Amino acid sequence: MTHHPGERRRSALAVALILALSTLPACSFVDSSASISQSIGASFASSSASSRSSSPGDDQTAYKNDVRDYTYAYVRSTKSAGDFERGLAGVAEKHGISNWQSDQTTWVGIGEGLAKARVNHTELEVFKKNLADSDPDHMTDIQRGYDAYRPA
């Protein structure tokens, strides 16, 4: 049985590739404690991007955007209000906030998320009442976010 030289080369390439792939994991690993713990620079992972730090204003906008996107995803799913609040606490904590209820940005972000999900005015009133637990200040902030949202 004879092979064309080009075919042989392709077969060899394929075999080499399979051998290589069997030993080489593609894709990055999540930094596990085993790998990151020995690197002293890991202390600074969040501020290592450049010679300047982000400003409080940037951080506030980033938090609002995350709350908006989280709310948008929640409205599109079928989770309970309890799940929403537990998940929201996780979003807030990533931004250094333990008490998300008392941060006005949270409620504005929720309003933007509802607008992004295109809930109508009747649904908005229901969400406002349930999520804000009828707190008038929170309801006002949700409305403010809803009215201000413009798709990017």
Partner 1 sequence: MRGARRRRPPRIRPQSLGLALAIALFAADASAARADGLTRAIDYLTIAANEGGSSGGHAAIRFGDETYHFQHDDLGLVRSTREDSREFLAAYAVLQNRSMHVGRIAVSEETYGALRDAFNERFLAQTRDLERLESLRRDRDLLSALVAARDRRAEGPLVSVPAAGFFLADASDERPTEGGAARESPALARLRDRVARERGAAFLSERRAALARDLASGGADAGELPRPGSIAARYLDRFAGVLALDALERALPLRANAYRAPGDGSFALADDERAWIARFADDLEASLARLAASERPGWSRALIVGMARLAALRESLDSNRLVVLDAYPANPLRLDRAAIGRQRDLLPELVLEARDDLATARASLPQAERPREADWTRVETAANRVLELERAASFGDELRVAPHALVPSRPARRKAAIVPDLAAEKLARALAATNDALRAAEDDLRARAGYGLVARNCVTEIWRVVDETLGGEAVVSLGGRLAPGERLTFIPIVSGAAVSAELRVVAEEDVPSYRALRLAALAERDGDLPTRLRESTTFSSTISPRPGERDSFFVFFTDGLAAVRPVLGAANLAAAVGASVAGVAVAPVDGGRLLWRGLRGAFFSAPELAFVAIRKGSFDFVPRRDRPEPETLDPLLALAR
Give the residues lining the site for partner 1 (CB under 8 A). Answer: 17, 20-21, 24-30, 32-33, 35-51, 53, 55-56, 59-60, 63, 69-70, 72-73, 76-77, 79, 82-83, 85-87, 89-90, 93-103, 105, 133, 151-152
* Minimum CB distance to partner 1 smaller for 1 or for 129: 129
Residue 85, SS3 per DSSP: helix
d(CA 131, CA 67): 13
Nearer to partner 1 by Cβ, of 1 and 40: the residue is 40
Give the CA distances from residue 11 to residues 1, 4, 14, 23, in Å, rounded to whole numbers and listed in that order: 15, 11, 5, 19
Contact 72, 110 (CB under 8 A): no
3-state secondary structure of 115: helix
Identity of the residue, 15 or 42, whose beta carbon is nearer to partner 1 in the bound complex: 42
Residue type, 62: A
**What is the closest distance, in whole angstroms, from the C-beta atom of residue 152 to partner 1 in the complex?**
7
CB of 38 to partner 1, least distance (A): 4
Q: Could you give the CA distance from residue 121 to residue 115 in angstroms, rounded to a whole number?
A: 10
Report the nearest approach of partner 1 to the CB of residue 72 (Å).
Answer: 8
Closest CB 147 distance from partner 1, rounded Å: 20
| Both tokens assigned to 118 | 């295109």
Nearer to partner 1, 2 or 56 (CB): 56
